[in-house]
Structure 1
Amino acid sequence: MPRLPLALTQGDPAGIGPELSLRAWLERRERALPAFACVADPAELARAAGRLGWQVPIRASSWEEATALFAQALPVIPLAQSVAATPGEPDPSSAAATIDSIDRAVAAVRTGRAGAVVTNPIAKSVLYAAGFKHPGHTEYLAHLAAEAGTEPLPVMMLWCEELAVVPVTIHVPLRRVPELLTRKLIVDTARIVAVGLRRQFGIKSPRLAISGLNPHAGENGTMGREDEEIVKPAIAELQAEGIDARGPYPADTMFHARARAGYDAALAMYHDQALIPIKTIAFDEGVNVTLGLPFIRTSPDHGTAFDIAGQGIARPDSLCAALRLAARMAERQEAAR
């Protein structure tokens, strides 16, 4: 049987998402991309292709037809509403279509019509202006999962071939990290990472390297007590459960090539501790993976880039990597069942 198509959301239609989707289809063969269907307004995607002068045949499709259609045309699952966006000019009137695209993509995966969700970038400020109540993309996906009867803890993992890294605390001011960092949060995050690496990455015994919070991992408590009182007990608890967790390691020595060879994923205590190394290693090819959801979700590791939207110069590397990784994760998850 043909592989299920991936569900690619529209993202903010005034950003670079539409041209990335179009360009990914144009380069599908040389980039060895799996079949995907855009959840969008076919007419708006056709207008975007016309503005750029790209010959992309757009075809309204069902999920069942998408994989077979993909070789000849870009399959589009139509939204309930039309979209009219001007590149580089975000407009809250497009928020309903952006949310509808996410809803339909998730529903297709949950009902077995698509293999994974791949999300184009959204602009939270645009959604907030339209009354969106969730902190961001990931939290909304967790809300959809909760509506379906589960209460997930979504875990953000940034991935490239050379490194997988997870920030334990994410989008919070640095001064708040010590108060938010708890033994339970580290343990819960590491459990989800270990399960995800086993089920969706095919790693039988995942090795987790866990950083310290403070310089030199606290240097035996002389540079702060958090590593002694929070991080070390969390690692001991994980080890007692049979999870191969190691550390705490000084973050400044965790990410060179020899160190990376010793683990499958690194857990960092705060946002920049995690994102600086992966964006240094793979600025254009990094992928944002959400673990802990009852469906697979990947995303490019960049934003809407309104400043260059519609110019045809946005690089599709990260989106293409997200598509390939989503297909790989879906295959491994299916094989593990």
Structure 2
Amino acid sequence: MIGITIGDPAGVGPEITLRAVADMAPADRARTRIYGCRRTLAAAEAAIGVPLADGVAVVDLPVADAPLPFGAADPRAGDAAYRFIAAAVAAAEAGEIGCIVTAPINKAALNAAGHHYDGHTGMLAALTGETRAFMLLASARLKVIHVSTHVSLHDAIDRATPEQVLATIRAGHAHLRRIGIDAPRIAVAGINPHCGEGGLFGTEDDTQVAPAVEAARAGGIDVTGPVPADTVFHRAYQGAFDLIVAQYHDQGHIPIKLVAFDTAVNVSLGLPIDRTSVDHGTAFDIAGKGVASHENMNEAIAYARRLVAGGKT
């Protein structure tokens, strides 16, 4: 059983959830549970002309004044998105569902509702009692895990400590082994241009990144780095590496969204539960218009089924 949270009720999450469920075979619908608001789903049904498919369970979590207007950040929607996720996390922890698949949330609405998180990953860590979690973006030819995500570039550099970089390498290595890559080849991107050019452009790669790489190698991990970020993603895309450790949000997000914008899946690592997600936002500009693509949701669901089945294909 997987659980799908419909995300921010004012975004495209309800629409792409309905379309994805409609695409499922009956056996898969029977192994799917939606966490959301029935009145919101009814509004999405009317907007896209696709009814909720038979055979899928819905955990109805009412939203005040639902359906809320599509396309606008609203604290009521932010609170609802939080409640959908919290309910799915509780079900996952109880063993009722094997993986959570999340539709997009709006961080401004979430925080306006009093839920002060930087996004899904931080929220899931807090809800499960973990001190940290890791964001991995997975596509067919490029996989990236991040040392930090939703922080300023200044803070990201400070967070790239040897301990955090090493923990990120280990989390990525463990996940790739879980999904069937027995000997993952990992590259760690540098922080500075040309990895500092021997200190000319900064020393962080020598003092923060290199020690983590050395420690990971000592632990038996096949890891290379630091490697200049302007070449390492191309090398991985051509098959030289199975995973890139990116030092900060945009360093990892830009290349993977360039090559796999509609198919990359966001996977949370380091948690006691499994979670996958679409790799796009709430798309308020098209919400409620019936034009949102559910291709990325289908990919996130397929990855979740893979994890539930034991990881390997």
TM-score above 0.5, yes or no: yes
2:278 to 293, 300, 303: 300
Query: Secondary structure of the residue that 1:220 maps to in structure 2?
Result: coil
Is 1:176 the equivalent of 2:155? yes
Cα drift, residue 260 of structure 1 = 4.3
Q: Deviations over 1:66-100 (max 9, x none)?
A: xxxxxx34431222556422211332123333222
CA–CA distance in 2 between the matches of 1:238 and 1:208? 10
Cα drift, residue 152 of structure 1 = 4.3
Is 1:269 the equivalent of 2:252? no
- Whether the 8 Å CA contact 1:95–1:126 is kept in 2: the answer is yes
Cross-structure match for 1:61? none
1:226 to 182, 204, 221: 204
Cross-structure match for 2:261? 283
Does the C-alpha gap of structure 1 residues 112 and 178 become closer, same or farther in structure 2, counting only changes over 3 Å?
A: closer
Cα drift, residue 180 of structure 1 = 2.7
1:20 to 10, 16, 26: 16
The residue type equivalent to 1:195 in the other structure is: A
Is 1:40 the equivalent of 2:20? no
Is 1:191 the equivalent of 2:174? no
The residue type equivalent to 2:233 in the other structure is: F
Which 5+ residue runs of structure 1 have no aligned equivalent?
A: 58-71
Does the C-alpha gap of structure 1 residues 33 and 206 become closer, same or farther in structure 2, counting only changes over 3 Å?
A: farther
Q: Note the 1:214-253 alignment, pairs <5 A.
A: 214-253=192-231
Cα drift, residue 302 of structure 1 = 0.6
CA–CA distance in 1 between the matches of 2:225 and 2:58? 47
Over the aligned positions, Cα root-mean-square deviation in angstroms equals 2.2
TM-score (norm 1): 0.85
- Whether the 8 Å CA contact 2:11–2:70 is kept in 1: the answer is yes
Cα drift, residue 229 of structure 1 = 1.8
Cross-structure match for 1:77? 59
Query: Secondary structure of the residue that 1:213 maps to in structure 2?
Result: coil
CA–CA distance in 1 between the matches of 2:236 and 2:56? 42
Does the C-alpha gap of structure 1 residues 250 and 257 become closer, same or farther in structure 2, counting only changes over 3 Å?
A: closer
Cross-structure match for 1:115? 98
Cross-structure match for 2:114? 131
CA–CA distance in 1 between the matches of 2:116 and 2:254? 29
1:50 to 38, 46, 49: 46
The residue type equivalent to 1:238 in the other structure is: A
Does the C-alpha gap of structure 1 residues 259 and 223 become closer, same or farther in structure 2, counting only changes over 3 Å?
A: farther
- Equivalent residue pairs, number: 310
- Whether the 8 Å CA contact 2:78–2:105 is kept in 1: the answer is no
TM-score (norm 2): 0.91
Percent identity between the aligned chains? Answer: 41
Does the C-alpha gap of structure 1 residues 33 and 285 become closer, same or farther in structure 2, counting only changes over 3 Å?
A: farther
Which 5+ residue runs of structure 2 have no aligned equivalent?
A: none
1:311 to 289, 292, 300: 289
CA–CA distance in 2 between the matches of 1:144 and 1:226? 33
The residue type equivalent to 1:17 in the other structure is: G
- Whether the 8 Å CA contact 2:37–2:63 is kept in 1: the answer is yes
CA–CA distance in 1 between the matches of 2:105 and 2:255? 24
The residue type equivalent to 2:2 in the other structure is: L
- Whether the 8 Å CA contact 1:218–1:224 is kept in 2: the answer is yes
Cross-structure match for 2:188? 210
- Whether the 8 Å CA contact 1:287–1:299 is kept in 2: the answer is yes
